Structure 1
Amino acid sequence: MQDGIVIGEGVVLDARPASFITRAMGAMLDFLVIGAVVAAVLIVGAVWFVENAVLGEDIAAIVYVLANVVVMVGIPVTVETLSRGRSVGKLACGIRVVRDDGGPVRFRHALVRALIGVIELWLTFGGIAAIASLSNAKGKRLGDLAAGTYAVRVRGGKPPSAPVVMPQSLAAWAHTADMRRLPDGLALAARQMLGRAARLAPESRARLADDLAGRIEPYVAPGPPTGTHPEAFLHAVLAERRERELAAGQRERRRAQEQAELLHRLPFAVADPPR
Structure 2
Amino acid sequence: MGDLVTGEAVVLDLRVARLASRAVAFAFDVAVQFLLLLLVLLISPIDLDGALRSALAITLTVAVLIGYPTAVESLTRGRSLGKLVMGLRVVRNDGGAIRFRHALVRALGGFFVDFWALGLGGTVALFVSLFSAQGKRVGDYLAGTVVIHTRVPKQTVELVEMPPEFAAWARGLDLSQLSDELVLAVRQYLSRYHELGDQARWELGKRLADDVGAAIREPRHEYSHPHPYLAAVLAERRRRAS
TM-score range, shorter chain: 0.5 to 0.7
Find the aligned partners of 1:8 and 1:42 in 2 and give their Cα distance: 45
| 2:37–2:64 CA contact under 8 A, matched in 1 | yes
Aligned length: 156
Structure showing greater relative contact order (alpha-carbon pairs closer than 8 Å, 6 or more residues apart): 2
Per the alignment, do residues 150 and 6 of structure 1 end up closer, same or farther by CA in structure 2, a change over 3 Å counting?
closer
Find the aligned partners of 1:121 and 1:58 in 2 and give their Cα distance: 26
Find the aligned partners of 2:129 and 2:84 in 1 and give their Cα distance: 20
Q: Sequence identity of aligned pairs in percent?
A: 41
Q: Which amino acid aligns with 2:64?
A: V
For 2:107, the equivalent position in structure 1 comes to 114
Find the aligned partners of 1:61 and 1:10 in 2 and give their Cα distance: 51
Q: Which amino acid aligns with 2:68?
A: I
Per the alignment, do residues 29 and 163 of structure 1 end up closer, same or farther by CA in structure 2, a change over 3 Å counting?
same
Larger Rg: 1
7-16 or 113-122, larger mean C-alpha shift: 7-16
Per the alignment, do residues 11 and 158 of structure 1 end up closer, same or farther by CA in structure 2, a change over 3 Å counting?
farther
Per the alignment, do residues 6 and 125 of structure 1 end up closer, same or farther by CA in structure 2, a change over 3 Å counting?
closer
Per the alignment, do residues 16 and 162 of structure 1 end up closer, same or farther by CA in structure 2, a change over 3 Å counting?
closer
Gapped regions of structure 1 (runs ≥ 5)? 165-275
The secondary structure found in structure 1 opposite 2:90 is strand
The secondary structure found in structure 2 opposite 1:14 is strand
TM-score by length of 1: 0.52
Gapped regions of structure 2 (runs ≥ 5)? 160-242
Residue 5 (structure 2) pairs with residue 3 (structure 1): no
For 2:131, the equivalent position in structure 1 comes to 135
Find the aligned partners of 2:128 and 2:8 in 1 and give their Cα distance: 32
Residue 51 (structure 2) pairs with residue 55 (structure 1): no
Task: Quote the RMSD (CA, aligned, Å).
Answer: 2.4
Deviations 1:170-225 (A, max 9, x none): xxxxxxxxxxxxxxxxxxxxxxxxxxxxxxxxxxxxxxxxxxxxxxxxxxxxxxxx
Per the alignment, do residues 98 and 69 of structure 1 end up closer, same or farther by CA in structure 2, a change over 3 Å counting?
same
Find the aligned partners of 2:147 and 2:21 in 1 and give their Cα distance: 10
Residue number among 80, 88, 96 corresponding to 1:95 in the alignment: 88
TM-score by length of 2: 0.58
For 1:159, the equivalent position in structure 2 comes to 154
The secondary structure found in structure 2 opposite 1:17 is coil
The Cα of 1:83 is off from its aligned counterpart by: 0.9
Q: Which amino acid aligns with 1:64?
A: A
Q: Which amino acid aligns with 1:136?
A: S
For 1:210, the equivalent position in structure 2 comes to none
The secondary structure found in structure 2 opposite 1:151 is strand
Q: Which amino acid aligns with 2:30?
A: F
| 1:72–1:122 CA contact under 8 A, matched in 2 | no
Per the alignment, do residues 82 and 25 of structure 1 end up closer, same or farther by CA in structure 2, a change over 3 Å counting?
same
